[in-house]
């Protein structure tokens, strides 16, 4: 059974991610212990709330995350966890992310559209990757965010439209670090499929 460590660095609903992992046959561990991260088959970086608070809370673990990622084992960032993977964020003044994927986190511009972008939106598949196996163009997933990831085509596996096109799923050069702006653990059957795909990558 694959051991998946969910990094615990503060707040948020980790129960749903843990349960989703159990549903697809993995063994989840919620921990901030460096050893539990390093010896995991897969690591999930969750996150809700503000970018700067998350970065501050994550600070003691960033070296461990780099060390883990260098082994080539998979890491999945979810929602704010995806945004943290990027180089920089505009949220709360320009703040550095952990820079595993190049790109910038920006706020949705003022328009007629509501912010946060909250609810079920359809995604487009730009590139094939094992994280998206069984997921098709037009499938709906659940989003809730006010900032979005702006990166290049190379690092975008899937995109979503909300006034502008933004990265719904990102990837690093090596292919072992992926991030989803939406919540797979809250996206019904399609979401569970993505969780399962991640476990299969591990």
Partner 1 sequence: MLTKRIIPCLDVTLDSEGGTVVKGVEFFNLRHAGDPVEFAKLYNEQGADEIVFLDITASHEGRTTMIDVIERTADEVFIPLTVGGGVGSVEDVRQILRAGADKVSINTSAVKNPNLIKETSDIFGSQCIVTAIDCKRNTNVADNSDKTILTLEDGTPAWYEVVIYGGRKPTGIDAVQWAKKVVELGSGEIMLTSMDRDGTYDGFDVPVTRAVSESVEVPIIASGGAGNPQHMYEGFTSGKADAALAASIFHFGEYTVPGVKEYLKNHDLPIRI
What are the residue numbers of the active site? 79, 183, 185
Is residue 120 involved in binding partner 1 (CB under 8 A)? Answer: yes
Binders of partner 1 among 49-108, rule CB under 8 A?
49-50
Tell me whether residue 68 or residue 179 sits nearer to partner 1 (CB atom). 179
Tell me whether residue 136 or residue 146 sits nearer to partner 1 (CB atom). 146
Is residue 162 involved in binding partner 1 (CB under 8 A)? Answer: yes
CB 53 within 8 A of CB 114: no
Q: How far apart are CA 7 and CA 25, in angstroms?
A: 19
Is residue 24 involved in binding partner 1 (CB under 8 A)? Answer: no
Q: What are the residues whose beta carbons fall under 8 Å from the beta carbon of 69, sequence distance 6 or more? A: 75, 100, 172, 176, 177
Q: What are the residues whose beta carbons fall under 8 Å from the beta carbon of 1, sequence distance 6 or more? A: 25, 26, 27
Of residues 56, 59, 122, 136, which one binds partner 1 by CB under 8 A? Answer: 122
H/E stretch holding 52: helix 51-58
Phi, psi values for residue 68, rounded to 5°? -60, -50
Tell me whether residue 38 or residue 192 sits nearer to partner 1 (CB atom). 192
Tokens linked to 36:
């539990």
Shortest distance in whole angstroms from residue 40 CB to partner 1: 22
Of residues 78, 187, 194, 198, which one binds partner 1 by CB under 8 A? Answer: 187
Q: How far apart are CA 130 and CA 193, in angstroms?
A: 11
Task: Give residues in contact with partner 1 (CB under 8 A).
Answer: 11-13, 15-16, 19-20, 23, 48-50, 110, 113-122, 140, 142-146, 161-162, 183, 185-188, 191-192
């Amino acid at each position: 059974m694959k051991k998946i460590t969910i990094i615990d660095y503060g707040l948020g609903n980790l129960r749903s991610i843990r349960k989703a992992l159990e549903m697809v046959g993995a063994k989840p561990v919620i921990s901030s212990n460096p050893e539990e991260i390093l010896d995991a088959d897969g690591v999930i970086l969750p996150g809700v709330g503000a970018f700067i608070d998350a970065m501050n809370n994550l600070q003691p673990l960033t070296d461990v995350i780099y060390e883990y990622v260098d082994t080539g084992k998979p890491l999945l960032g979810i929602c704010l966890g995806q945004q943290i993977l990027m180089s920089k964020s505009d949220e709360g003044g320009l703040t550095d992310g952990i820079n595993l994927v190049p790109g910038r986190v920006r706020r949705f511009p003022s328009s007629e559209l509501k912010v946060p972008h909250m609810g079920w939106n359809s995604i487009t598949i730009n590139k094939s990757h094992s994280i998206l196996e069984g997921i098709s163009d037009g499938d709906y997933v659940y989003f809730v965010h006010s900032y979005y990831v702006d990166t290049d085509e190379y690092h975008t596996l899937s995109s979503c439209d909300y006034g502008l096109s933004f990265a719904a799923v990102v990837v690093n050069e090596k292919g072992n670090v992926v991030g989803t702006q939406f919540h797979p653990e809250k996206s019904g059957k399609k979401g569970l499929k993505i969780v399962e795909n991640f476990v299969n990558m591990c």
